[in-house]
């Protein structure tokens, strides 16, 4: 389908690819963080429900994905996922993307259970064609294939999604993990931008992070996006999406993404339950 923007995409395939992206992050968190912070993710049919129990007030880290997927309402998976979230006593969001088969049924269920609707971010999507812009020639791109190659890899990516610094644990072990491609753009000895990209079927989902540098002009972002778009195209991807945790990317990163061909393709709607009373 094509919605709002001109980028055509398979809504169900995109929804599943996004769930696999977040599954990959939760799976690579270090054991100490999993235990100490209560990091967990559970599948209920097509639904993915994720919590970080010690960050109870952060809906960015406590969420339900796939609410409009086939079977989410008809087979009772969304109610089951919500019950599981409620047992953790966290502020959570239910992310609902336009175009999914049970979108309307999910909206009715959420309204009936007194969830409030918040305007979510637009999804930035691009087709899987090779990059149509020039790569800055003076920027080097390194693909990270081992966690020990770049211990600073996780921090900017966690920050780009609006997470606290501890959330670097979601990214530190990604280099070399099957299904993931991890890149760093460097000018001399200065890292400028990072991408972590997960490929599932014909959909790639990426997180982009950049460092603020004096007189920065987006060269690092453009260079690293050129590389990951080319690799996604070579892998046969039909769609490339930008990950979001309930908010839009930073302005500088958004500008680089739009220059690289990403478009506001479809609205994400965020639903939240009535306010939790802290215990």
- Neighbour count for residue 132 (Cβ, 10 Å): 10
CATH says 140-266 is which class?
Answer: alpha beta
Average confidence (pLDDT) over 40-60: 97
Average confidence (pLDDT) over 92-103: 94
- Residues of the chain with pLDDT > 70: what percent? 94
**Domain boundary assignment for the chain:** 11-122+267-272, 140-266
Phi and psi at 157, nearest 5°, equal -70, -40
- Neighbour count for residue 279 (Cβ, 10 Å): 5
pLDDT of res. 1:
53
What would the pLDDT profile of 169-210 be if each residue is shown by its tens digit?
999 999 999 999 999 999 988 899 999 999 999 999 999 998
pLDDT > 80? residue 257: yes
The least confident of 67-71, 149-153, 248-252 is 248-252
pLDDT > 80? residue 101: yes
Nearest to 225 by CA among 110, 131, 148, 95: 131
What would the pLDDT profile of 55-94 be if each residue is shown by its tens digit?
999 999 999 999 999 999 999 999 999 999 999 999 999 9
Query: What band does 267 get if pLDDT is binned at 50, 70 and 90?
Result: confident
pLDDT of res. 271:
95
Nearest to 161 by CA among 118, 121, 123, 208: 208
Q: Which two tokens stand for residue 124?
A: 């930035």
- Residues of the chain with pLDDT > 90: what percent? 78
Tell if the pTM clears 0.95, that is, is over it.
Answer: no
pLDDT of res. 247:
82
Q: State the Cα–Cα distance between residues 201 and 238, nearest whole angstrom.
A: 9
pLDDT > 90? residue 121: no
pLDDT > 90? residue 214: no
Q: Which residue has the higher pLDDT, 185 or 215?
A: 185
Average confidence (pLDDT) over 12-34: 96
């Amino acid at each position: 389908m094509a919605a709002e923007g001109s980028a055509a995409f398979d809504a169900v395939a995109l929804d599943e690819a996004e769930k696999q992206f977040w599954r990959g992050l939760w799976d690579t968190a270090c054991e100490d963080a999993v235990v100490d912070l209560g990091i967990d993710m559970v599948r209920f049919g097509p639904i993915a429900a994720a919590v970080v129990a010690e960050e109870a007030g952060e809906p960015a880290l406590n969420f339900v994905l796939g609410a409009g997927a086939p079977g989410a309402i008809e087979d009772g998976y969304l109610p089951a996922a919500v019950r599981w979230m409620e047992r953790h006593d966290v502020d959570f969001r239910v992310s609902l993307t336009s175009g999914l088969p049970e979108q309307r049924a999910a909206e009715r269920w959420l309204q009936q259970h007194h969830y409030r609707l918040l305007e979510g971010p637009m999804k930035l999507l691009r087709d899987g064609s090779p990059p149509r812009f020039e790569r800055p020639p003076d920027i080097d791109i390194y693909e990270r294939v081992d966690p020990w190659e770049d211990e600073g890899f996780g921090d900017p990516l966690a920050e780009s999604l609006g997470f606290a610094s501890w959330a670097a644990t979601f990214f530190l072990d990604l280099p070399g993990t099957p299904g993931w491609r991890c890149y760093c753009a460097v000018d001399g000895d200065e890292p400028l931008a990072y991408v972590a990209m997960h490929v599932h079927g014909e959909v790639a989902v990426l997180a982009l992070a950049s460092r603020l540098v004096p007189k920065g002009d987006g060269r690092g972002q453009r260079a690293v996006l050129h590389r990951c778009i080319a690799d996604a195209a070579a892998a046969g991807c039909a769609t490339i999406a930008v990950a979001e945790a309930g908010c839009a990317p930073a302005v500088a990163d958004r500008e680089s993404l739009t220059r690289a061909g990403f478009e506001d393709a479809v609205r994400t709607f965020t639903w939240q339950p009535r306010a939790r009373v802290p215990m």
